[in-house]
């Protein structure tokens, strides 16, 4: 090679006479970064993530997902909320009635419990639904869902249109309507319009395409 001191190892086959200075420098400079890298606070296997034993900001490696996760929020209702680092999406977390602040008049929708998942880019997605324990779902503004904790809130007011349903109903006259809002403080609010004909009989609201970008935390 014409210049053994600065041999191009990416293109030419190294020769015995080539200098190893570049390789040695690269290795020596990189090794402290590798050896001092932050280690996970724990390791787990399985579909779900830990629900105790960690604090916000700590990490856990899941061997099933082959991904590191960082704990971004802890809430008594929503539980431990983990954001994946390597995996595109984290697991669906079924919270069920944990989303409700009124468990006397409301419950999880039949066969479709409220659940969420979080992506590595900070997307939060909610699915499932809630059901009026004693139908029908009343008209007007409802605040039956517990707020999201700091670390899982949007940076702007969000709004979605949701589907309403009557359990066991075989036809839909098109008069069931619901808007869902989420504020930057994590508060949910639903505006229910239950049957313009005057017979309010829909008893379930389903979350469809409820997704938003989580705001960056500034309190850590």
In this predicted structure, what is the pLDDT of residue 57? 92
In this predicted structure, what is the pLDDT of residue 167? 61
How does pLDDT run across 126-178, given as a tens digit for each residue?
998 888 888 777 777 788 889 999 999 999 999 998 887 776 554 555 557 78
Structural domains of the chain, ranges and CATH numbers in brackets: 4-35 (no CATH), 89-213 (2.60.40)
Share of the chain above pLDDT 70, in %: 80
**Strand blocks (E) in the chain:** 43-44, 59-62, 67-75, 79-84, 93-94, 106-108, 115-118, 123-127, 129-132, 140-142, 158-165, 176-182, 188-194, 204-206, 210-213
Mean pLDDT score of the chain, rounded to an integer? 82
Tokens of 179: 């808007």
Ranges in the chain, pLDDT < 70: 1-14, 22-23, 25-27, 167-175, 194-201, 219-220
């Amino acid at each position: 090679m014409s210049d053994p001191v600065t041999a191009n190892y990416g293109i030419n086959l190294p020769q015995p006479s080539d200098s190893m200075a570049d390789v040695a420098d690269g290795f020596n400079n990189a090794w402290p970064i590798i050896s001092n890298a932050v280690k996970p606070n724990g390791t787990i296997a399985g579909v779900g993530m830990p629900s105790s034993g960690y604090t916000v900001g700590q990490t856990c490696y899941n061997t099933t997902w082959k991904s590191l996760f960082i704990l971004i929020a802890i809430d008594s209702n929503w539980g431990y909320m983990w954001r994946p680092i390597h995996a595109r999406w984290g697991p669906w977390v079924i919270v069920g009635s944990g989303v409700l602040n009124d468990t006397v008049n409301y419950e999880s929708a039949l066969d479709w419990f409220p659940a969420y998942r979080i992506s590595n880019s900070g997307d939060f997605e909610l699915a499932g639904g809630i059901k009026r324990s004693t139908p029908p779902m009343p008209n007007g503004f409802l605040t039956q869902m517990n707020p999201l904790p700091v670390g899982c809130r949007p940076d702007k007011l969000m709004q979605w249109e949701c589907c309403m349903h009557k359990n066991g109903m075989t036809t839909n006259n098109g008069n069931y309507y619901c808007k869902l809002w989420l504020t930057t403080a994590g508060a949910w609010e639903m505006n229910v319009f239950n049957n313009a004909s005057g017979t309010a009989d829909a008893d379930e609201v389903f979350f469809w395409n409820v997704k938003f970008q989580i705001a960056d935390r500034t309190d850590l």
